[in-house]
């Protein structure tokens, strides 16, 4: 009954089992343990190439540390105005970078517009040293409005960024949902498309708390071990984060969980779309949907105990509904039923 966020979910049994198995033994602190070492190989399999991984406590930390590796304090970071890094991280990117500026690049459905990005970078420094210096681009999978970037869309943005000497960061808090929706490989959607650094989230998709920075371009990440430590994100018993990731990748738990969440979101979208007066202005390309509900429908759902959030301009009637790995189909069906009943003649 809770559609506010995939952060409200519990944790997959496989994750708990991995923690339990690891709890009975001692091992080196700060990532020098055998689980962290095995995890490097698991990630290499997942991405079809060697990568550097830096587990951290939260997605905000993964994003802000990634950006701090890419952008100096006098830099500019291009992102959608609705991006999580711009709206919902309490200035963490500015803090970690020492003052870099987030420059808004608009676009539909939370995706930045490539042409607009190109123009903004080209026009960024008419006054030279007086302007913030273009340093990085950040995109989100999925976006804050539930859309995904295809590998081609990522590649188009990466080309613009790289041509201008900027790095590309991907906030993959819901990367698994985008992968499942698009039916592409992790490699295709990230480094093969030009992503330099990835925030890879597992927390929203079945872990207790497991986020990692994945570095595809190690030359850009030389400072990351130090930046992570001084931010208090080098976990002393890192193996418990590594164990979560190991269980998340093993047997494709990530895919199963995301597939379920996406299916629930699609089911919900389909049901809502058939209700008169309900609109879905944004595509459902992951586990989130953003319907516009008539006021009486929204009220009826709230009274029935469903939890969800208004989104954006409050007068719009838009709400955010997010399905999780542990969302039940019965809850979806009941949500639709209540909405449909409320939409009829009053």
Contact pick of 140, 148, 324, 343 for a copy of itself (by CB under 8 A): 324
Number of Cβ within 10 Å of residue 226's Cβ equals 10
Q: Which is nearer to a copy of itself, 22 or 196 (CB)?
A: 22
**Which helix (H) or strand (E) segment is 117 a member of?**
helix 114-122
What is the Cα 198 distance to its own chain's centre? 10
Q: Which is nearer to a copy of itself, 28 or 303 (CB)?
A: 28
Helix (H, G, I), strand (E, B) or coil at 137: strand
Among 36, 60, 140, 343, binds a copy of itself (CB under 8 A): 60
Cα angle 81, 313, 306; round to 5: 110
Question: Near a copy of itself by CB under 8 A, which window of 35-43, 84-92, 145-153, 333-341?
Answer: 84-92
What's the CA gap between 106 and 79, in Å, rounded? 8
Residues 6 to 35 in contact with a copy of itself, rule: CB under 8 A? 7-13, 15-16, 19-20, 22-30
CB of 55 to a copy of itself, least distance (A): 10
Which stretch, 58-66, 138-146, 152-160, 291-299, contacts a copy of itself (CB under 8 A)?
58-66
Least distance in angstroms from the C-beta of 69 to a copy of itself:
11
Asked if 177 interacts with a copy of itself (CB under 8 A), we say no
Of residues 276 through 305, those in contact with a copy of itself by CB under 8 A are none
How far apart CA 231 and CA 35 sit, in angstroms, is 23
Question: With respect to a copy of itself, which residue has the nearer C-beta, 68 or 147?
Answer: 68
Choice between 129 and 346, CB closer to a copy of itself: 129
Total residues binding a copy of itself (CB under 8 A): 83
Residues numbered 118 to 157 that lie near a copy of itself (CB under 8 A) are 123, 126-127, 129-133
Site string for a copy of itself, 230-269 (x = CB under 8 A): xxxxxxxx--xx----------------------------
Q: Mind giving me the DSSP string for 165-208?
A: T-EEEEEETTHHHHHHHHT--HHHHTGGGT-SEEEEE-GGGT-S
Least CB distance to a copy of itself at residue 40 (A): 17
Whose CA is closest to 3, among 338, 296, 314, 343?
A: 338
Beta strands in the chain (DSSP E): 52-56, 75-79, 101-104, 133-140, 167-172, 197-201, 211-215, 288-289, 309-310, 319-322
Q: For residues 101 and 57, give the distance between their C-alpha atoms in angstroms, rounded to a whole number.
A: 24
Neighbours of 342 (CB within 10 A): 21
């Amino acid at each position: 009954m809770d559609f506010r966020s995939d952060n409200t979910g519990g944790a997959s049994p496989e994750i708990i089992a991995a923690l339990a198995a690891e709890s009975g033994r001692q091992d080196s602190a700060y990532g020098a343990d055998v689980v962290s070492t095995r995890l490097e190989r698991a990630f290499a399999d997942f991405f079809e190439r060697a990568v550097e991984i830096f587990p951290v406590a939260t997605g905000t930390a993964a994003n802000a540390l990634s950006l701090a590796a890419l952008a100096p304090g006098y830099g500019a970071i291009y992102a959608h105005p609705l991006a999580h890094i711009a709206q919902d991280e309490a200035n963490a990117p500015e803090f970690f970078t020492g003052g870099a500026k987030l420059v808004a690049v608009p676009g539909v459905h939370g995706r930045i517009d490539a042409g607009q990005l190109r123009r903004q970078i080209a026009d960024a420094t008419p006054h030279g040293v007086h302007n913030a210096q273009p340093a990085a681009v950040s995109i989100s999978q999925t976006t804050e409005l539930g859309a995904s970037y295809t590998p081609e869309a990522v590649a188009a943005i990466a080309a613009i960024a790289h041509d201008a000497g900027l790095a590309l960061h991907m906030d993959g808090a819901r990367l698994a949902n985008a992968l499942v929706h698009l039916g592409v490989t992790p490699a295709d959607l990230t480094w093969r498309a030009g992503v330099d650094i990835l925030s890879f989230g597992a927390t929203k998709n079945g872990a207790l708390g497991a986020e990692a920075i994945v570095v595809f371009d190690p030359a850009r990440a030389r400072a990351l071990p130090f930046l992570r430590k001084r931010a208090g994100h080098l976990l002393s018993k890192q193996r418990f984060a590594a164990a979560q990731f190991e269980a998340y990748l093993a047997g494709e738990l990530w895919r199963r969980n995301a597939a379920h969440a996406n299916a629930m979101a699609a089911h919900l979208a389909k049901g809502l779309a058939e209700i008169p007066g309900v609109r879905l202005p944004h595509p459902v390309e992951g586990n989130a949907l953003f319907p516009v509900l008539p006021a009486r429908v929204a009220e009826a759902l709230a009274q029935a105990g469903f939890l969800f959030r208004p989104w954006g301009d409050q007068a719009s009637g838009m709400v955010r509904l997010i399905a999780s790995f542990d969302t039940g189909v019965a809850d979806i069906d009941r949500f639709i039923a209540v909405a449909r009943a409320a939409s009829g003649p009053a």
